[in-house]
């Protein structure tokens, strides 16, 4: 544990120290770059306001992650199973990633209103692509010898998919889901920045309007912490869902 967490902990402490030193030595105004101590004070000051905003953003991120994961896995099965579907959908999937979410978010708010739905859709769209691509690769990369074995025993396409391809794709599915989890909270915040009633994006907008840059930093730290927590939880779920994939890996390489 010390070998794994001490180096990044020391680096983080050094960066915070450099930040504090820069603000003190350069006499940087708080409305431009607040010191870490001022950010900590802003966190304590805003603590009563944060739980509702954090709960809203976290619920949107989790809901979008689940919906995007289910949709991505379903498309991956279709792409891996039917060559025509792969030829039709692959270019569209790639093209869909060229449109920034900050451009789509206002349209989603226009179509679905300022409630939870557009934020969930933003996160689901962010989740969909990495899950679909990773899962499709996992399904296509199943052991050919195992496939030949089950086919020789009379297994049809459905049985082959269930007994060989699905287990082979579980680690790839969670790899894609971990990538998506790292961006899910930020995606929810992007949607909230456009229009929302609650959430960390609303907190950021209000802090920006009142020139409370220290509170914006508070929101940034919370977004980073939520993203790291969601990333770790997805990694843990992946270990539980595919223990055979991690059984022979060294401890320091395990996610």
Residues 24-59 have pLDDT tens digits of 888 888 888 888 889 999 999 989 989 999 999 999
Q: How far is CA 35 from the centre of its chain?
A: 29
pLDDT of residue 181: 93
- Of 164 and 52, the one with more pLDDT: 52
Contact (CB, 8 A) for 186 and 127: no
pLDDT over 60 at 127, yes or no: yes
Q: How many CA atoms are closer than 13 Å to the CA of 5, on its beta-carbon side? A: 3
Model confidence, pTM: 0.85
Q: Which of the listed CATH numbers 2.40.110.10, 2.102.10.10, 1.10.3720.10, 3.40.50.2020 matches domain 51-253? A: 1.10.3720.10
Distance CA 95, CA 93 (A): 5
Average pLDDT over residues 120-130: 91
Cα dihedral: 34, 226, 210, 202 (round 10):
170
Alpha helices, DSSP H, located in 30-100: 36-46, 50-81, 83-96
pLDDT of residue 250: 52
Whole-angstrom CA distances from 93 to 5, 130, 132, 134, 233 are 37, 10, 9, 13, 27
Q: Where are the domains of the chain?
A: 51-253
pLDDT of residue 62: 94
Contact (CB, 8 A) for 188 and 223: no
How many CB atoms sit inside 10 A of residue 46's CB? 17
Return the percent helix, strand and coil in the chain, to nearest 5.
85, 0, 15
For residue 203, what pLDDT band results from cuts at 50, 70 and 90?
Answer: very high
């Amino acid at each position: 544990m010390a070998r794994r967490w001490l180096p990044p902990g020391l680096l983080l402490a050094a960066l915070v120290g450099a930040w504090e030193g820069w603000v003190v030595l350069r006499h940087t105004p708080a409305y431009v770059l607040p010191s870490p101590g001022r950010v900590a004070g802003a966190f304590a000051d805003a603590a009563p306001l944060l739980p509702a905003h954090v709960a809203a953003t976290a619920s949107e991120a989790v809901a979008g992650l689940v919906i995007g994961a289910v949709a991505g896995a379903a498309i991956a099965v279709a792409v891996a199973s039917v060559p025509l579907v792969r030829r039709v959908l692959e270019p569209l999937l790639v093209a869909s990633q060229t449109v920034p979410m900050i451009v789509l978010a206002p349209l989603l708010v226009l179509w679905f209103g300022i409630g939870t739905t557009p934020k969930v859709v933003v996160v689901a769209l962010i989740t969909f692509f990495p899950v679909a691509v990773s899962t499709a690769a996992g399904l296509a990369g199943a052991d050919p010898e195992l496939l030949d074995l089950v086919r020789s025993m009379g297994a049809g396409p459905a049985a082959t998919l269930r007994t060989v391809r699905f287990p082979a794709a579980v680690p790839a599915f969670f790899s894609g889901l971990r990538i998506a989890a790292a961006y899910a909270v930020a995606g929810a915040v992007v949607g909230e920045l456009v229009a929302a009633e609650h959430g960390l994006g609303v907190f950021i907008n209000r802090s920006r309007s009142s020139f409370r840059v220290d509170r914006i930093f508070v929101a940034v730290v919370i977004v980073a912490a939520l993203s790291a927590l969601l990333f770790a939880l997805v990694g843990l779920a992946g270990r539980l869902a595919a223990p055979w994939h991690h059984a022979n890996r060294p401890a320091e390489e395990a996610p």
